[in-house]
């Protein structure tokens, strides 16, 4: 069994607030540090796209996914719209039509092309998007180098948000192209050398969280998204959290016990979703009696010791009920992760929690179009914690709140279990 590098491993520790990529405030060479950070993030987007042909970049395999070309253009539009337009007086837009094509959901920023139809936009082509990126990059770097100090102070928080926003799309580039490639009957590989990262040694132990009041939410210096604030007090415990992630071997046992065919294990909406033909996690295929999974390296046999992945919240909840346990709440997960009690909390799979995605007490979105970034999605979705094998370096922290609809399973999503004493 080979274990080579992942596409982008994430070595962030449980208490990490960021990564060396991000400049420290007040540094004498702050301008150059931000230019270096900007170049590094933008280059990572291009590195991930470099393996793809122009045809690969235009396909949209389902409404929830977007073409890679669109991700590259949208993240560029973000800097054009929110950094250059307000702060660069002499900036000339590359193409006025792009705002309509590459806006996503910022209603205050103007009208936009319908999301399910992004794959129909064959023009501009991938090469033109590359020229668009170069045009905007030159303007942003020039502004970072030459903006008056008062303008720089106003724009740096937006630049930083834009870089973290682009890192989110870097992960989506991989998950979306994985879905697109999975629809190809020849099972092509994005990267033939891609492998899961090494996981922690297995054990049946749990960490015990006695009842107590803990501070939850962003508490460290450095960047966070607004949905991680404000830090607040929460009662947690008594509860036990599994130190290890649920594995493929454990999931196979669930399947052998009829887990997908037992309605008593499923939420009502989950049972309806499973009726669409779910008999195994997403991307699993049984070939000659052997289960395989479709990965960024193509179709490979399932390895029992690896973490279960591409499962929806509904599946995770049913598995937990089958195991006689529960999914942890996001507060329970965060308290345990801050204490360093969870193995593979970061860089393997996002972990479903039983917490609905809702605002923290006292949450206030920022004003203007950027206030649409998180707050308006705080309904009907579930929180995931940690980070995944596809998460870029520097984009994980213990307070990070990812969120998806409970039926979603094209992301790198897995689970760990929780139990209550008594």
Quick one: what percent of the chain has pLDDT higher than 70?
94
Residue 230 and residue 217 in contact, taking contact as beta carbons nearer than 8 Å: yes
Question: Residue 42, class by beta-carbon neighbours within 10 Å (0-12 exposed, 13-18 middle, 19+ buried)?
Answer: buried
What is residue 422's predicted lDDT score, i.e. its pLDDT?
A: 75
Is residue 194 within 8 Å of residue 6, measured between CB atoms?
A: yes
Answer whether residue 284 shows pLDDT above 70.
Answer: yes
242 shares its domain with 371:
yes
27 pLDDT above the threshold of 70? no
Residue 407 has pLDDT above 50, yes or no: yes
Residues 249 and 144 in one domain: no
Q: Are 153 and 85 in the same domain?
A: yes
Q: Is 167 among the domain residues?
A: yes
pLDDT band, very low/low/confident/very high, at 5 (cuts 50, 70, 90): very low
Question: CA angle, corner 3, sides to 49 and 294, nearest 5?
Answer: 55
Phi/psi of residue 385, nearest 5 degrees: -125, 160
CATH for 45: 1.20.120
Q: Among 206-210, 275-279, 369-373, whose mean pLDDT is lowest?
A: 369-373
**Is the residue at 17 inside a domain?**
no
CATH number at residue 334: 3.90.1580.10
- Which stretches does DSSP call E strand in 247-385? 284-287, 290-295, 298-301, 350-356, 382-385
Specify if 22 maps to a domain: no
Residues 212 and 357 in one domain: yes
**pLDDT exceeds cutoff 50 at 366:** yes
Tell me how many domains the chain contains. Answer: 2
Band of the pLDDT at 25, cuts 50, 70, 90?
low
- Considering the domain architecture, whether residues 213 and 176 belong to the same structural domain is answered as no
Residue 345 lies in a domain: yes
Q: Are residues 354 and 249 in the same domain?
A: yes
Same domain for 162 and 63, yes or no, is yes
Q: Is residue 304 part of a domain?
A: yes
Residue 316 pLDDT exceeds 80: yes
In a domain, 11, yes or no: no
The answer to whether residue 251 is domain-embedded is yes
Backbone angles phi, psi at 285, to 5 degrees: -140, 135
Residues 164 and 288 in one domain: no
Contacts of 174 (CB under 8 A, 6+ apart): 7, 48, 190, 296, 390
Provide the sign of the torsion angle of the four alpha carbons 33, 37, 40, 42, taken in this order.
negative
Q: What is the pLDDT of residue 336?
A: 98
Q: Note the pLDDT of residue 368.
A: 85
The whole-number average pLDDT for the span 60-86 is 98
pLDDT, mean over the chain: 93
State the pLDDT at residue 201: 86
Q: In what order do the strands lie in the sheet with 239-242?
A: 206-209, 239-242, 418-419
Q: What is the pLDDT of residue 237?
A: 96
Asked whether residue 25 is domain-assigned, the answer is no
Do 57 and 172 belong to one domain? yes
- At residue 330 the predicted structure's pLDDT band, cuts being 50, 70 and 90, is very high
Answer whether residue 17 shows pLDDT above 60.
Answer: no
Q: Do residues 213 and 344 both lie within one domain?
A: yes
For residue 311, what are the contacts with CB-CB under 8 A and spacing of at least 6? 251, 281, 282, 319, 352, 409, 413, 414, 415
- Indicate whether 107 and 140 sit together in one domain: yes
pLDDT of residue 292: 98
The string of pLDDT tens digits covering residues 118-136 is 999 999 999 999 999 999 9
Is the pLDDT score of 28 beyond 90? no
Enclosing domain of residue 326: 206-419
- Residue 24: predicted pLDDT: 66
Does 143 lie in the same domain as 229? no
213-237 confidence digits (pLDDT tens): 999 999 988 999 999 999 999 999 9
Contacts of 319 (CB under 8 A, 6+ apart): 246, 251, 254, 259, 308, 311, 415
Question: 83, 180, 187: which is closest to 138 by C-alpha?
Answer: 83
């Amino acid at each position: 069994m080979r274990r080579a590098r992942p596409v982008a491993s994430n070595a962030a520790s449980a208490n990490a607030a960021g990564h060396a990529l991000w400049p420290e405030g007040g540094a004498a060479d702050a301008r150059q540090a931000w230019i270096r950070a900007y170049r590094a993030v933008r280059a990572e987007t291009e590195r991930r796209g470099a393996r793809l042909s122009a045809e690969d970049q235009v396909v949209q395999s389902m409404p929830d996914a977007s073409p890679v070309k669109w991700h590259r253009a949208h993240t560029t539009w973000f800097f054009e719209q929110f950094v250059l337009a307000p702060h660069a007086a002499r900036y000339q837009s590359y193409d006025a039509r792009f705002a309509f094509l590459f806006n996503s959901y910022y209603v205050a920023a103007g009208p936009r092309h319908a999301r399910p139809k992004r794959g129909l936009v064959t023009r501009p082509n991938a090469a033109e998007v590359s020229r668009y990126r170069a045009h905007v990059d030159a303007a942003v770097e020039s502004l970072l180098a030459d903006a008056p100090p008062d303008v720089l102070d106003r724009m740096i928080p937006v630049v930083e948000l834009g870089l973290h926003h682009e890192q989110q799309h870097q992960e989506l580039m991989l998950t979306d192209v994985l879905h697109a490639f999975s629809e190809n009957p020849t099972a092509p590989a994005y990267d033939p050398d891609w492998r899961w990262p090494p996981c922690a040694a297995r054990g049946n132990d749990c960490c015990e969280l006695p009842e107590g009041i803990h501070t939850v939410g962003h508490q460290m210096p450095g960047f966070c998204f607004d949905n991680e604030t404000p830090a607040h007090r929460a009662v947690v415990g008594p509860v036990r959290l599994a130190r290890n992630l649920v594995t493929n071997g454990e999931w196979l046992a669930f399947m052998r016990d009829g887990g997908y065919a037992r309605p008593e294990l499923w939420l009502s909406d989950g049972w309806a979703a499973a009726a669409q033909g779910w008999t195994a996690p997403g991307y699993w295929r049984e070939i000659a009696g052997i289960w395989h999974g479709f990965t960024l390296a193509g179709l490979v046999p399932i390895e029992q010791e690896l973490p279960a992945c591409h499962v929806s919240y509904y599946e995770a909840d049913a598995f937990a009920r089958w195991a006689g346990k529960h999914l942890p709440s996001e507060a329970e997960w965060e308290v345990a992760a801050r204490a360093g009690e969870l193995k593979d909390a970061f860089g393997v799979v996002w972990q479903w929690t039983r917490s609905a995605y809702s605002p923290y007490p006292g949450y206030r979105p920022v004003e203007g179009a950027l206030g649409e970034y998180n707050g308006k999605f705080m309904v009907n979705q579930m929180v995931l914690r940690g980070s995944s094998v596809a998460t870029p370096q520097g984009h994980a922290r213990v307070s990070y709140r990812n969120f998806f609809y409970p039926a979603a399973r094209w992301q790198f999503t897995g689970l760990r279990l929780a139990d209550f004493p008594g």
